[in-house]
Amino acid sequence: MKFESNNFLIEYDEKDELLINEITKNLESISKPILNFFEIKKLSKKLNIIIYHDLQDFINFRTKNGKYPQRYKSWNVASAEMGNVHILSLELYKQADNHHNCDFNDYLKTITHEFVHVCHEEILLNKNIMPALIMEGIATQLAKQPYYINHIDCTAEELTKNFYQIKNCYRYAHTIMGYMLKNKSHNEILKILREPHKVDVDSLIKETNNFLKETEPVQIKEK
């Protein structure tokens, strides 16, 4: 089944029909402020969201695109690629590792998270270089996912070369981005988001940890 508006298309199973209204309401409410944050008037193409009720179909899609390593299978629930969002159904989402206690609100935040990735890709100056630290940091912040941590306990090399293998990778990304959002201007943040590969991660870790000694990790406030 399909739901289509001026700005997005959702492909779903009839089992999702009762949820689609809430999903679309959420997309309508978050899309404008997030587009404004990235200073985008409109996405280059209509956002397409595909909801999977068959886990193997999702795995096959990710494997086909070379972006679904075996070690991620237990917790990977969504993906943003080529302007499209691919996500497991709510039922499968709640079965994945680290999501057993999640509810529908968490599910909506995951969709928002992936939408942020789509928007971020629009402004990247080099789409072949997408450092996970910055990508996941801005996505978790704008989606208001509470990945707080009070100390960055890893190296810059680990965060840049082995990001998804680190236990607290999303918490580190969220907290580092929270520090930047609190201490840098919007123009400075946009410059970083356009060329995230130029960030000095070692300095960011030191600055963030110094910041955390004085205050709690921050999350971006809704404008």
Q: Are residues 68 and 8 in the same domain?
A: yes
Q: Please tell me whether residues 214 and 107 are part of one structural domain.
A: no
Q: Indicate if 62 and 170 belong to the same structural domain.
A: no
Same domain, 215 and 191: yes
- Cα distance between residue 135 and residue 132, in whole Å: 5
In the chain, the number of structural domains is: 2
20 and 112 share a domain? yes
CATH code assigned at 41: 3.40.30
Residue 83: alpha-carbon gap to chain centroid: 13
- Which position has the higher pLDDT, 98 or 39? 39
Residues 159 and 211 in one domain: yes
pLDDT tens column, 126-173: 988 889 999 999 999 999 999 989 999 999 999 999 998 898 999 999
The answer to whether residues 99 and 162 belong to one domain is no
Average pLDDT, the chain: 90
Classify burial at 154, counting beta carbons within 10 Å of its beta carbon; exposed 0-12, middle 13-18, buried 19 or more: middle
Among all chains, which residue has been given the structure tokens 């996505």?
Answer: 139
156 and 110 inside one domain: no
* Residue 50 backbone phi and psi in degrees, to 5: -110, 120
pLDDT tens-digit map of 33-47: 999 999 999 999 999
The phi-psi region of residue 160 (left if phi > 0; otherwise alpha if psi is between -120 and 50; otherwise beta) is alpha
Say if residue 116 is in the same domain as residue 191.
no
* The pair of three-digit structure tokens given for residue 32, joined into one six-digit string: 């404008």
Residue that is last in its domain, among 89, 123, 157: 123
Which among 73, 115, 67, 118 is positioned nearest to 98, based on CA atoms? Answer: 73
Do 147 and 118 lie in one domain? The reply is no
Distance, CA of 75 to CA of 143 (rounded, Å): 18
Tokens of 81: 């690629």
How far is the C-alpha of 162 from the C-alpha of 156, rounded, in Å?
A: 10
Which of 101, 123, 145 is at the close of a domain? 123
Domain with 162, as residue range(s), is: 125-223
Entry pTM: 0.91
